[in-house]
Amino acid sequence: MGRWGWVGWGASFSICLAPVYFVERLTNLFFLDGNHLYGTMSGLRTELFVASILLAGVASGAIQRSLLRASSSVIAAMGAFFLFVYWLCDPRICYSTGIDGLEPLRMGILLGAIGVCGASLGLAIRRQPEPVRSRVLSAFCALLAVGFYPMVFTMAGTRLMGDLHPWAPFAVMLLQSWWTASTVARSTSRRTGLAVTMAGWAALAAISAGMASWYLQEVATGFLLLFVASMLGALFGALRGGVGVRRIADATRSRAPVIIAVGLVLVMTVGIIPDAVNGLEPDTSGRFTGPVVGTPVYAGGYMDSPLGYSHGVAVNVSFAGTGLAAIQPDNFIAAGIGAHSPGCCVDGIDYGYRFDLYLFHNGTMAAAASAWEICDHNAACGGHPWKFLMFDEEKSIGRFDGITPVYLRMVWVGRTVVWSYAIGTGGAASLSSFVSPDAENAYFNLGALGGFSAFWNQGGSYFLQFGVSSRYPIGNTGWKVYFDCPAFLAWSGSVYPGWTCIQRAKTLQGDQSFWKALWRWGEPYPSVVEQTYGNYAVSFSYSPTRTMQSFERLW
């Protein structure tokens, strides 16, 4: 590469690095200055990075007229950017490397693949011939770019494109695998087309598996569907699918998969419909074996007030009026409280705590405590969702007597969360405790925060919730769950004088039970209705004629 070649490479490097670095520095400035625009800028970083790298890639390809040189400048720029945001950064604003430490690699592959796709389009604009190896590289990167979100959403135990999951990701992977294999096969051989396509799938699986190492069984079906889609697409594409398909492939030429890839990535990045739930669920024998992908059906209420905070939350729950015969042998009914705790530094990472009482068909009751670390769709924690069960502990607390309420309480003591309970008028008993991460603020958020997108079907985040759940809808009469005085430790000056029942509450169905951006406590619970008993008390039970809606006034 001669003198002018290096000048072009340097210009491309600068074009790729400058926009993303500017967006990051501006976001950091807003954070350090306490500017209200910080949340907006931080939430848009992923979209801005994708758009910036795409356009910079196009410019780089047009300037250098070589896909390999343009790609090297994109990758070098991303390496420099990651050096600034992961390592050479103020600890208050450094990016999170994620559960398994591979978020830099995951984000690097996504942005790098998009940059290479952009460079291929830049070559097309200049009508520059594309050598065989460049065609293979651009097709491979197109597959990485398109397959990234379907794979990481699946491995994170979430759903991409809402109700269309898992068939929408299946179709996306099938189509892109077909185009990739077809492109490579026409330029090289059928065997190479098949190998390149499956290598792309394997690369995505390898970088994503670490997120789900503790619940691989839960995501096995989705993972298998993506494998089948990739294999079928690769086979059909490599074989060119007969004369008709061959004519289509020949007519579209080699950059068609790149154009499709760019379009699909932009749609998935900007128009992702969040559908992510987290929870702890016992198996059919009543044993708690770890987290599940997709929590039980859920319905309840939330504290309807402006944003606040407290060092303690509590509620009285009772299954009085429930007949054990109403609960299916492989089901359960649970009642509890959930609260949000904010992270101090990395935007997109927050913490959720739950305390639930479970009643099983055989009459035994169990109390379960859980603490979660969660990432939403934010560049600072990878640009995609992930969840981590930091802590859980369960304990059998005896048999159901049909009447006695149980008091559930979560309290911060310094940086430690303590779960305790009391049965009837008995004394409090400690269930467990957990020392929170250093990156977490040691308190619970209260109230609600609005301003989310109607396109995402999310009205807001509801930080303090109480609700009832089951593995699946019980679907018959004979059960009822009471909640009395969902409460928080009130703040007065510099002390907490005591517990206060929340003064305003509204209903919340599972599909709106967002305890932060993106993440919910459950799926909708059909045929559940509420009944209030003056202020501060409500019951939830089965109705054959009506289903409770979200945002109805309780008190």
Structural domain ending residue among the three candidates 113, 129, 145: 129
What is the mean predicted confidence (pLDDT) over 306-324?
A: 95
- Asked if the structure places residue 406 within a domain, the reply is yes
Same domain, 143 and 118: no
Q: Looking at the domain assignment, is residue 550 inside a domain?
A: no
Is residue 347 in a domain?
A: yes
CA distances (Å), 200 to each of 263, 264, 460, in order? 19, 17, 37
Domain of residue 10, residue span: 1-129
Cis bond upstream, residue 166 (ω within 30): yes
Q: Are residues 266 and 318 both part of a single domain?
A: no
Do both 147 and 121 map to the same domain? no
What digits encode the pLDDT tens for the residues 430-451? 999 999 999 999 999 999 987 6
Domain final residue, candidates 273, 299, 323: 273
Answer yes or no: do 393 and 443 share one domain.
yes
Q: What is the pLDDT of residue 242?
A: 36
Total H helices, total E strands in the chain: 10, 23
**Cα–Cα distance measured from residue 452 to residue 378, given in angstroms and rounded to the nearest whole number:** 15
Backbone Cα Rg of the chain:
26
Last residue of a domain, one of 273, 289, 311: 273
Q: Which tops the pLDDT comparison, 4 or 63?
A: 63
Q: Give the DSSP letter of residue 542.
A: E
pLDDT band of residue 494 (cuts 50, 70, 90) is low
How confident is the model at residue 260, as a pLDDT? 62
pLDDT of residue 239: 84
Question: β-pairing, 386-399 with 505-509?
Answer: unpaired
Q: Is 296 part of any domain? A: yes
CATH code for the domain in which residue 398 is found: 2.60.120
453, 492: one domain: yes
Asked if residue 551 belongs to a domain, the reply is: no
Residue 507 region by backbone torsions, left for phi larger than 0, else alpha for psi between -120 and 50, else beta: beta
Q: Is residue 137 located within the same domain as residue 122? A: no
Lowest mean pLDDT of 1-10, 89-98, 361-370, 542-551, name the range. 1-10
Asked whether residue 149 is assigned to any structural domain, the reply reads yes
The closest of 412, 434, 416, 435 to 313, measured between CA atoms, is: 412
- Kindly indicate the confidence band of residue 251, based on its pLDDT and cuts at 50, 70 and 90: very low
Say if residue 413 is in the same domain as residue 445.
yes
Angle at 328 between CA 423 and CA 289, to 5 degrees: 70
Same domain, 202 and 222: yes
The b/e string for 173-204 (b: 16+ C-beta within 10 A; e otherwise) is bbbbbbbbbbbbbbbbebebbbbbbbebbebb
Check: CB of residue 237 under 8 Å from CB of residue 119. Answer: no
- pLDDT tens profile 437-488: 999 999 999 999 876 554 457 778 999 999 999 999 999 999 999 999 999 9
Give the pLDDT score at 313.
97
Q: How far apart are CA 332 and CA 168, in angstroms?
A: 32
In the prediction, which pLDDT does 275 show?
Answer: 64
Angle between helices 132-155 and 103-125 (to 10 degrees): 140
Residue 547: inside a domain, yes or no?
A: no
CA distances (Å), 367 to each of 278, 285, 395, 403, in order? 18, 15, 5, 17
pTM: 0.89
- Backbone angle region of 81, left / alpha / beta, with phi > 0 → left and psi within -120 to 50 → alpha: alpha
Both 295 and 431 in a single domain? yes
Q: How far apart are CA 428 and CA 551, in angstroms?
A: 33
Q: Please check whether residue 553 lies inside any domain of the structure.
A: no
Residue 97: pLDDT above 60? yes
Distance CA 401, CA 80 (A): 64
Do 97 and 161 share a domain, yes or no?
no
Number of domains in the chain: 3
- Of 420, 421, 447, 434, the C-alpha closest to 503 is 447
**Same structural domain for residues 281 and 267?**
no
| Whether residues 125 and 136 fall in one domain | no
**pLDDT for position 270:** 56
